[in-house]
């Protein structure tokens, strides 16, 4: 419906009523479910009425067919019409709940007319059902309507339905002659002498001794139903608020994921105009955001800095710490410090504001591009894996310092490594060797080396894809709890000759 149409409708009586009675969006679903329940109750009631009709037809019920037939057939017809309406509007119309309430009350009132005092429980059913809509207004409306209609049915039933012998009062000395059959027929026969006085007595006594106590009990049921409706409403509202909050956090985390993914270099080829080396890296957080990160950048045209790091813990806390660590490391690296000094100064900076005692493991290396000389330092990070020229990938057990942020005033040792054209360096976080399958078995360094060597002559992209495929094949469908981050750098020599030797990656 367009806005104009809606505005026009608002100004009419029905438009205003509709706006007032249409539930909030969060109640639409629950209202449709309640309407379906209403249809089910109607259907069951129809079956019950049909059974009474059948029993009466076979003479197995205590009332004569002529007094039962007409009200029951009318009630069944009403039920059929209501069920058809339910189907036609697909249980969705804003007025359907009110129609259902009116329908139920009228149907039960008809039965009340026939079996009078036997049908006390029927009075409670509509109001009990109305609480399912979580609308106190609807329950109050149903209570009032039920009170009125059942008062009318009590009056009508007193004179036309099954006679309640307990409330018949007689003049002293009245003599009755049995007519045979039910005692009620004998009493009715006796009353026929003065029908007006007899009916007045029946109506008065029914209202006083039958309807009033029934109504008092009904009031208690109404109060309970109102309470259920109100409490149910509160619960739906609370749940809705929680859903909104969850959706908000989810949206924020989604954005955070993209911000974090964008914090690290992620456009490849990363250095399209450099033939001397190639770098490729991937980062897959286990949760929306993670504590792993890699970084690579040129300090100057001759020096490439590579970083692989892993923050303690996971999720949002690790991600916040990751962001700070990455920036401090890069800032220290860009002003031309050596790897050991970069770690030392980063450690000092982090330790000065680290009450939560978070830490980060870091491997950092600076490649001198013309010579292939790599200077590196390791602050508690996984061993790097190196492939020299035409050899195989091997774990390089380097000197380890303590994690960054763990303790103030630490110094970090550096080491050197000579890379020849065709050498590859593979850096990773513990998420790779510690990827776990469904039985709790870890992927391990040996499988990782096998995967690396399976693609040792390929491009940097091939190398990471091979490891990723191997990890995925190993863990299968087991949920992963750690971030998975990898970086591969290929050194092709000062003149980029290794690229042509390896077949090139164009």
Contact positions toward another protein, by CB under 8 A? 291, 310-314, 357-359, 361, 379-383, 400-403, 406-407, 430, 434, 481-482
Q: Which is nearer to another protein, 20 or 355 (CB)?
A: 355
Instruction: Give start and end residues of each alpha helix (H) in 206-338.
Output: 212-263, 315-334
Q: Which C-beta is closer to another protein: that of 146 or that of 347?
A: 347
Residue 505 structure tokens: 């990656």
Of 37 and 395, CB closest to another protein: 395
497 Ramachandran zone, left/alpha/beta (phi>0; psi -120 to 50): alpha
Nearer to another protein, 382 or 490 (CB): 382
Give how far the C-alpha of residue 375 lies from the chain's centroid of Cα atoms, to the nearest Å.
50
Residue owning tokens 């209570």: 143
In the complex, least distance from residue 10 CB atom to another protein, rounded to whole angstroms: 54
Nearer to another protein, 360 or 417 (CB): 360
The minimum distance between CB 314 and another protein, in angstroms, equals 5
Minimum CB separation from another protein for residue 477, in Å?
A: 20
Pick between residue 397 and residue 476 the one whose CB is nearest to another protein.
Answer: 397
Q: How far is the CB of 380 from another protein (least distance, A)?
A: 4
Placement of tokens 């450690």 in the chain: 347
Cα–Cα dist 496/504, whole Å: 10
Angle at the Cα of 138 (from 133 to 144), degrees rounded to 5? 140
Nearest to 358 by CA among 410, 295, 314: 314
Smallest distance from another protein to CB 383, Å: 7
Taking the complex as a whole, the smallest distance from the CB of residue 401 to another protein amounts, in Å, to 5
Q: State how far the Cα of 319 lies from the Cα of 328, in Å rounded to an integer.
A: 14
Measure the CA–CA gap between 394 and 94, rounded to whole angstroms.
71
Residue with Cβ nearer another protein (184 or 313): 313
CA 405 to mean position of chain CA atoms? 38
| Measured distance CA(360)–CA(292) in Å, rounded | 9
CA distances from 384 to 284, 306, 450 (A): 19, 12, 15
Minimum CB separation of residue 402 from another protein in Å reads 4
């Amino acid at each position: 419906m367009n806005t104009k149409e809606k505005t026009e409708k608002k100004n009419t009586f029905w438009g205003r009523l509709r706006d007032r009675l249409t539930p909030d969006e969060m109640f639409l679903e629950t209202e449709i479910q309640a309407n379906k329940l209403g249809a089910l109750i109607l259907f069951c009631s129809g079956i019950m009425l049909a059974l009474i009709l059948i029993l009466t037809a076979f003479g197995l019920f205590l009332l004569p067919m002529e007094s039962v037939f007409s009200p029951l057939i009318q009630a069944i017809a009403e039920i059929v019409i209501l069920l058809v309406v339910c189907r036609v509007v697909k249980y969705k119309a804003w007025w359907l709940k009110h129609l259902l309430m009116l329908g139920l009350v009228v149907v039960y009132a008809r039965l009340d007319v026939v079996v009078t005092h036997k049908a006390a429980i029927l009075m409670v059913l509509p109001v009990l059902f109305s609480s399912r809509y979580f609308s106190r207004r609807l329950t109050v409306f149903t209570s009032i309507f039920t009170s009125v209609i059942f008062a009318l049915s009590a009056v009508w039933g007193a004179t036309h339905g099954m006679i309640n012998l307990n409330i018949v009062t007689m003049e002293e000395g009245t003599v009755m002659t049995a007519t045979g059959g039910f005692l009620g027929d004998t009493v009715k026969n006796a009353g026929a002498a003065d029908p007006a006085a007899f009916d007045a007595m029946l109506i008065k006594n029914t209202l006083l001794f039958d309807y009033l106590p029934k109504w008092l009990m009904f009031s208690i049921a109404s109060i309970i139903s109102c309470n259920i409706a109100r409490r149910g409403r509160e619960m739906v509202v609370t749940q809705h608020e929680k859903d909104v909050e969850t959706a908000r956090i989810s949206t924020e985390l989604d954005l955070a994921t993209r911000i974090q993914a964008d914090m690290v270099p992620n456009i490849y080829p990363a250095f399209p105009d450099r033939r001397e080396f190639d770098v490729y890296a991937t980062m897959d957080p286990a949760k929306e955001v993670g504590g792993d990160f890699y970084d690579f950048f040129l300090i100057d045209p001759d020096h490439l800095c590579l970083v692989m790091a892993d923050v303690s813990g996971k999720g949002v806390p690790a991600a916040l710490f990751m962001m700070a660590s990455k920036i401090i490391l890069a800032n220290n690296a860009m002003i031309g410090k050596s790897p050991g000094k970069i770690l030392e100064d980063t450690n000092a900076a982090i330790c000065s504001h680290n009450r939560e005692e978070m830490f980060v493991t870091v491997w950092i290396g600076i490649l001198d591009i013309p010579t292939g000389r790599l200077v590196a330092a390791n602050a508690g990070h996984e061993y790097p894996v190196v492939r020299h020229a035409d050899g195989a990938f091997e774990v390089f057990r380097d000197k380890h310092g303590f994690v960054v942020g763990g303790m103030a005033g630490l110094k970090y040792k550096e080491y050197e490594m000579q890379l020849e054209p065709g050498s590859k360096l593979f850096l990773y976080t513990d998420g790779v060797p510690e990827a776990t399958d469904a039985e709790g078995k870890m992927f391990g360094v040996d499988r990782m080396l096998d995967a690396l060597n399976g693609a040792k002559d390929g491009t940097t992209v091939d190398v990471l894809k091979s490891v990723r495929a191997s990890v995925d094949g190993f863990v299968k469908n087991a949920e992963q709890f750690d971030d998975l981050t990898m970086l591969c750098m290929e050194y092709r020599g000062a003149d980029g000759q290794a690229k042509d030797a390896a077949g090139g990656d164009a």
